[in-house]
Structure 1
Amino acid sequence: MRKFYAILLIAFLSLPMVSNAQLPPNFTITDMKGQTHDLHTYLNDGYTVVLDFWATWCGPCLASAPGIERIHEDYSFPGDDTYVIISIEFDASTSDEQDIVDAYCMQNPVVIDDNSVIRNDYNYAGSIPYFVVICPDGSWNDRTGGIGSDHTLLTNLAVGCTGQKSGPTDDAKLVVEHCAGATQFLCKGETTLTPTATLRNIGTNALTSAKIEVRMDNSLVETFTWNGNLPKFFEQEITLSSLTNVDFVAHELELRIIEANGGSDPNMLNNVSVTQLDPSVKAELALTLDITTDQYGDETSWEVVNGAGSVVASGPSTPYGNSTTYQETINVSGEDCYTFVMKDAFGDGMCCNFGNGSYTLSDANGVIATGGSYGLQEITGLHTKTTPTGIEEYSFLSSMDVFPNPADNFVNLVINLNKAITADIQVINPIGQVVKTVETNNYTVGQNEVSINTTDLASGVYFINLKTNERTVTQKFVVNR
């Protein structure tokens, strides 16, 4: 991004509010997603409208993104649906609006006002960020200066608004991280996953109970019941039941609110949180990071976080120079899971608007991750675990397969053994409950086949555990009828 500021830009300066009793000028404009917005229609429908005037090169504007996002998430649809917040980029010389919208994961409507028609109608004073809060009755207040993450600096301007529409009474919401957190990494050797979520109350009534469905790969795993007391716009981190037998492949974890305060939740669009679970990448303990910076090298940084959440390595010790190549040596210790994070402070990555920057993370076996075109950060999951999980690592077992998969009324387990064993066979659901057992048997060298009746199992994901005194080996299958 261009890193200059107009002479009149006053960062984080709050000017006195100006109240305007006259009906504000109307506008009809199309946002970057093709949706049309008409100011007077919103006001007539009882919405409070927030106009956010900004430019892609304005640091305080971008620093206000968390506060704007909070207003959009809580007050706009699909929040309590009482506000509309419209971000208006007005610099005709810029062309990187989409890059910034993507980097900062801006979910609210964003429009481009290259002719400055709207900003001139609203007493634009020359300093940005510039906010206008318009009440349904036509009165409005304005503010110049960044808000950071403090969304109340804007919502407080609407105190005393008349004619505002009412929000829902009972509405629970799962907070979704649009920029970060949509992907988590599985660590090899760990088969238990404990989902967490942030539950927020959007309704006017206190939220005292909620039911949440947990789904893995589109199959229902459990229904979790939460009880507590959350006033409007308060939230709580909740820990759900642990999932067991999570195999080391990509999964999709979905949490869905199905009930709030004992009744159906009226707003299903804010009830779902989907997380992609990706297998981490095997890495050696000695890593090499090669970096070529773009024209703003001081924006680039990186860190390595261990499984306990502690930063165990980071850089640079002094800011990187512009358009310069560096090589960093990173050493991690012992068996653990790590997260490597490549960051850009401004949110435009290292490539390719202002130089062709890039990074490559590697070990003795080759490249682990490489990139440069990203927003605020790019994350790679690593593991240095040596715990055996693959069938090839079990001395007694040559192969283990299930068919048909998906299954209907039965599933066959085919075991090819290198030596005779005595084993138990169990069918497990994703939360670790044994739903079916096969009597302990002796199995001989070569191929052994076991047929398991599944007519009494509901559709969904299951796991077959082959348990010996040496190891437990797991195979996943699906019942679909």
Structure 2
Amino acid sequence: MKNFLFTLLIAFSLNVYSQLPNGSVAPDFTLTDINGTTHHLYDYLDNGYTVFLDFSAVWCGPCWGYHTGGALEDLYVNHGPSGMPNVSSSTTNDVMVFFIEGDGSDLACLQGNGCGTQGDWVAGTPYPIICTDGSVNNTAVTSAYSIGYWPTVYQICPDRLLTECGQTATPYSLVSSCLPPPSFDNDARTFVKNSANSGCSDIVPEIFLQNYGLTNLNQVTITVSVNGVNQYTTVFDEVWNSNTNSYVPLNLSTLEIADVTLDPVYNLSNNDIIGIDVVLPNGVSDSDPTNNQTISMTVDLGFDNAYWDAPLSINVSGSNGNSWYLKQVSNNLIIASGFGGSVGSSNFFPLTFNECYTLQSVANDVNYIGASYTITDGNGQVILQGTTSQLEEFDNFSTGAEVWTNLDYSIFQNALYFDQINRNLVINDSYKSLHIYDITGRSLFFTDIVLQTVDLSSFSNGVYLVKLSNGDNFMTKKFRISN
């Protein structure tokens, strides 16, 4: 998770979160420019072009400075696609450039009228301009590319991987950093896909598989190890087709990429090293193994001894544009949920011992990324804490054993019991507050004047939770009303 602090001389920040990490697969798009021409990103990449995307906002001063500086204009005119408008007849024919007004401003603003615009962005711009005001295109492309500040300039190589290149004055010098085009018949390439751990001791590894060969890729052999010890070997030869809801044979064309979800790896510990080797494309030796070296992942399973027999305290910043779900991994049960701005929320289903839990944080769009969260267990331990940097993120913790030895209950020994005959909760000492919840976590009763007995004759039969505090410590105990 990264925090970016930018001065006005460098960039204008939208929020606090990461742009797409260098080496990410560029999201494909089909966009129509202000002249009515439609552009498909992967068509340019598949034809060998390196694509530069300038995400800017009309009101952004640094964006205007880079736009009028001429670096991208020279790049397009001298190196753009042969035959395209405004491209030199002596072009190197290996680059494409797009200006994307990613903040949803309309064409009039781009032409210098309204929106606090810095000027006329259209006049004199030789390369395609994309407007995202919703009339033809919208800001979905801004979200897809996780734009967090203006300008953000990406370089996308023909292999579909991107790098944030910044406001460089010599962008063409970066083109040579892209891999050469495919030249072998059988060449598989793999790289890590950012994905969530599936549990607190188990992980489902996910990778990208790319066909970097000239013939279609129909299978590879994948070996997964932990700390150098082989766990399993599998032949990957089919992919899930969401259109047919079925598996179909793997058949990747040149440069095409597939998501590979591998079988779970079990009984892991923090700092274990998962290794993934992909070999034998189409059942033969890889012609270029240098672009397909072993993938290594360091295991981070999160907090592993949370106290379970008490409600959690959950704080999540943000607004209704943020939502969160706390799930019990073994059965996918949602035990708590809410929106940004939650303070002191609790779980409406109780925790259980020796269980794994996952916090799923979701931002509606890029403007809501950057929410922070803190979850504290019943013993006051901070078991999850962080700040989101993507549209969807996961974080895990696990509860401890049934007998949890780190909590000192001596101060609460014989503190209270439930009198079934009289339907009273009996308190044996002086305390600061008492809180009663139903089993879903819904608050039913609270008092900061703790009497010796609390009449619960109006309560229905069932299981309840009582939270008793002496000001410095608290305990939570279950009791049942059954008569």
Q: TM-score range by the shorter chain?
A: 0.3 to 0.5
In the superposition, the TM-score normalised over structure 1's length comes to 0.44
In the superposition, the TM-score normalised over structure 2's length comes to 0.44
Higher strand residue share: 1
